[in-house]
Structure 1
Amino acid sequence: MKLVIIGGGSSYTPEIIEGVIDRHHEFPVQEIVLVDIETGKEKLNIIGALAQRMIEKSGVPIELSWTLNRPKALMNADFVTTQIRVGGLAARAKDERIPLSHGLIGQETNGAGGILKAFRTIPVLMEICNDISKICPNAWLINFTNPAGIVTEALLKCSPHKKVIGVCNIPFNMKHSVAEIMGCRPSEVEIEFVGVNHFVFGSKVWIKGMDETDKVLNKLSNHDLNYSPANIVSLGWSKEFIESIKLLPNPYHQYYFQTEEVLRKDVKAFHENGTRAEIVQQVEKELFQKYQDSTLQVKPKELEKRGGAYYSHAACSLMSSIYNNKGDVQTVNIQNQGAITDLPFDSVIEVNAIITKDGPKPITIGKLPKQVKAMIQQMKGFEELVVEAAITGDYNVAYASMLMNPLVRNESKAKVVLDELLETHREYLPQFY
């Protein structure tokens, strides 16, 4: 069995290597190939050497190599993971800084910045899918490149390769957070998820098989709880908010329901410490210095400072379940197929699914909760516009997607911010030029 990791020079790669090693007894990967591009060559060499040390220390029989030749790497692949960032952290910093300079939230996967990240990313992943469809058409593509839901929708609707599944660490993070506030193990927590990526809610929470939704929501209304991953500072939720929506929010919901508070906090941080991207650049610098230590043979603890910790755990669990036809339940980004009756059949949703050798089978939800139905439908409509603009390069559709994003929704600012972002990212947006 062969696994290809595209974006192999990412700081997250040691986590996916660890995940494969830990599961080797049930997911016997024989070959791993790390792939990157020329500008990522130095980081790829560093990650490759660390991954080799990790494999040697574990004693598992995995052959590792790394290359800049993607077509060659894809030969005979069974699984392909994608963790790319077109333009790197420098592009992310612009996605954050430019909206903030116009009084809008600047965030890498939400709002105006998330739209431009999708515009840069979707064409590149379309090329990767074209390669997969020709070179290894039976391979499963596990995408955790953000914005994961929008990217997965673009690939499933527009690329020739249909064995595509999107994963995100937020549902995993929510399970861990619930376990922490309820004093139990994450394995004892089950959540029914409904919505789309980064706008997903927990509609039911079971602990040890018992419905404890009300208890969890009651505890969540306590402002002292920190219910967020490393990249989002929690503002807490009011008792009125939790009692009204009767749903478990995810950490990204604060951008939509606490917009002014988040914007004030982000503008303050922007002036004092820089954006999240600039903080991450320092974290990355420290990580890669540590990665170069020839005595390091394990994933360092410092990696958890990155906001995407546990992405790789989700990806490895998913691949193992497909390989073993486990029939277990995991939360993934896949086509709706009628699971949520209030959304289009072919739209990508984030939902619990039964994982089989033939891929995920979404578990039926039915209608959206009426408290959030309109907002989820608006988010899906906005995502559809983003996909169309990214594929066609149509400026008017791009403007419409910016205007329909709940974090922009201002016709003059939408144009100014769109024009500035399109120009600053010009080299990565050939479809618009």
Structure 2
Amino acid sequence: MRLTILGGGGFRVPLVYRALLDDPGRAVSEVVLHDTDARRVAVIAEVLARLAQGHPAPVPVRVADGLDEALEGAGFVFSAIRVGGTAGRIRDERIPLSEGVLGQETVGAGGVLYGLRTVPVALHIAERAAALAPEAWVINFTNPAGMVTEAMSQVLGDRVIGICDSPVGLVRRAARAAGADPAALADPDRTGYDYVGLNHLGWLRSLTLDGTELLPGLLADDAALGSFEEGRLFGGDWLRTLGALPNEYLHYYYFRRETLDSVRDTRETRGEFLDQQQGGFFERAAAAGGPDAVYALWERTRLEREETYMAHSREASGGWQRDSHDLEGGGYDRVALALMHAILGNSGTRLILNVRNGTTVPQLAPDAIVETVCEVGAHGARPLPCAPLREDQLGLMLQVKAVERATVEAALFKDRGAALRALALHPLVDSPAVAARILERAAKEA
């Protein structure tokens, strides 16, 4: 089965390839890379070549000349593009900050700006995939993942599935903190969890092992909460008030003032850091002198990237270093591999994915993309029923979903009114006047 990776020059592509090499089930027989930046994809292909060295049965890799060539014959398509590159991300962060509101690539005004730029390109990919590989499953990594998956689903229906590593990371960290045996976590007959929301806006509301609910005991234990990232980010008092464990990105909503204070006068935004770090990596890699040197440089750069993830939120919550467990990298790769195996093997595996809502959250439209626990088989991913949402959870979901749908509408129809509505109605943008100025400046600097 052929796997096509769009955005094949992306820095994290080697994580996916490493997972494929380690896969005893050999779901993939060939990897095809496509990227609009020839230099980047050539460097990443060299890293993959180094990973394949000495492997008894390496997965062949080739670079496609164009999008259509990359899509033809694909069984699975990973879409992991970054429209506008890191320069676009910097603008998405700096323009809102200049107006006193958070700018982040998936959250707030920055997420809306990124979505406006990305949705038209994602729709074009969906249309070409439908024409050239109608039986392929498209797995969307591209941020803002929920919004982009929703746009692509207008063309591909249920054959596009969005993935994110934040929910599975939360489940894994919470279970470890609650004292669950790691081996038990891999056994679906022993473990269960209830997670629901939107991408980068969801809650873990139940975690069971052998029928015993673990979450109340974990929430009552400050020492256990202090042993993992979300516990440190939100603090025991607030987590007990919520009665659930939020996705890490909800820190931007619940502690918006503290996070804004930590980033407002920052010398370097996350986008600026990645622009310098990854730009430097690709420049040095081109002159590194062979796969071994390129791979070593990539691994050092990857570790630094992981160590600095969500640094401003960690600073706003007291300042602390990430755990070694969370510096291994990956997450997306493991979710994607599990998803492919579940589809190919018709296994009924449970995964947290971004899919069409159906009746999971009755207050949302059936075609709205939600992030929740799904059962995956040959038919794709089917969302499982979940307990009713609390009013505060539902209210936030409804408001952010309105923003996402307005952003897709604005991108599709070049509708300034829809774009203004998306920005102004976002919970992290507190003024239509501010939203209008952000939109105007973004248009001028595009």
1:282-431 map, 5 Å: 282-285=276-279, 287-288=281-282, 289=284, 292=288, 293-295=290-292, 300=299, 302-304=301-303, 305-306=305-306, 307=309, 309-425=330-446
Name the structure 1 match of 2:56: 59
Contact 2:178 2:214 in 1 (8 A): no
Give 1:75's match in structure 2, choosing from 72, 75, 90. 72
Across the aligned residues of Structure 1 and Structure 2, the Cα RMSD in angstroms comes to 2.3
Name the structure 1 match of 2:170: 174
State how far apart, in whole Å, the 1-side matches of 2:44 and 2:194 are: 36
Give 2:270's match in structure 1, choosing from 276, 280, 297. 276
Residue 161 to residue 49, structure 1, CA distance change in 2 (3 Å): farther
Q: CA deviation at 1:100?
A: 0.8
Q: How high is the sequence identity, in percent, across the aligned residues? A: 30
Residue 267 to residue 208, structure 1, CA distance change in 2 (3 Å): farther
| One-letter code aligned to 1:358 | H
State how far apart, in whole Å, the 2-side matches of 1:185 and 1:92 are: 40
Contact 1:16 1:312 in 2 (8 A): yes
User: Could you tell me the TM-score, scaled by structure 1's length?
Assistant: 0.89
Contact 2:203 2:245 in 1 (8 A): yes
| One-letter code aligned to 1:165 | I
Name the structure 2 match of 1:143: 140
Task: Name the SS for the 2:54 alignment partner.
Answer: helix
Residue 275 to residue 221, structure 1, CA distance change in 2 (3 Å): farther
User: Could you tell me the TM-score, scaled by structure 2's length?
Assistant: 0.87
Contact 2:178 2:224 in 1 (8 A): no
Contact 1:402 1:409 in 2 (8 A): no
State how far apart, in whole Å, the 2-side matches of 1:184 and 1:300 are: 31
Q: CA deviation at 1:101?
A: 1.1
Residue 214 to residue 21, structure 1, CA distance change in 2 (3 Å): same
Contact 2:20 2:59 in 1 (8 A): no
Name the structure 1 match of 2:198: 196
Name the structure 2 match of 1:242: 239
Could you list the per-position Cα deviations for residues 336-386 of structure 1 after superposition, in whole angstroms to 9, with x for gaps in the alignment? 111122222111100000110110111111521234221111111221111
Q: CA deviation at 1:276?
A: 0.7
Where do 5+ consecutive residues of structure 1 fail to align?
229-233, 426-433
| One-letter code aligned to 1:174 | L
State how far apart, in whole Å, the 1-side matches of 2:57 and 2:178 are: 37
Contact 2:92 2:104 in 1 (8 A): yes
Count the aligned residue pairs: 413
State how far apart, in whole Å, the 1-side matches of 2:149 and 2:172 are: 25
Q: CA deviation at 1:183?
A: 4.2
Name the structure 1 match of 2:20: 20
Name the structure 2 match of 1:49: 46
Task: Name the SS for the 1:202 alignment partner.
Answer: strand
State how far apart, in whole Å, the 2-side matches of 1:43 and 1:301 are: 17
State how far apart, in whole Å, the 1-side matches of 2:259 and 2:76 are: 38
| One-letter code aligned to 2:29 | Q
Give 1:211's match in structure 2, choosing from 193, 210, 213. 213
Q: Which stretch has the larger CA shift, 25-34 or 126-135? A: 25-34
Contact 1:89 1:277 in 2 (8 A): yes
| One-letter code aligned to 1:413 | V
Residue 286 to residue 314, structure 1, CA distance change in 2 (3 Å): farther
Task: Name the SS for the 1:153 alignment partner.
Answer: helix
State how far apart, in whole Å, the 2-side matches of 1:309 and 1:281 are: 20
Residue 235 to residue 402, structure 1, CA distance change in 2 (3 Å): farther
Query: Does residue 154 of structure 2 align to residue 152 of structure 1?
Result: no
Contact 1:7 1:84 in 2 (8 A): yes
Residue 404 to residue 185, structure 1, CA distance change in 2 (3 Å): farther
State how far apart, in whole Å, the 1-side matches of 2:91 and 2:49 are: 34
Name the structure 2 match of 1:428: none
Task: Name the SS for the 2:291 alignment partner.
Answer: coil
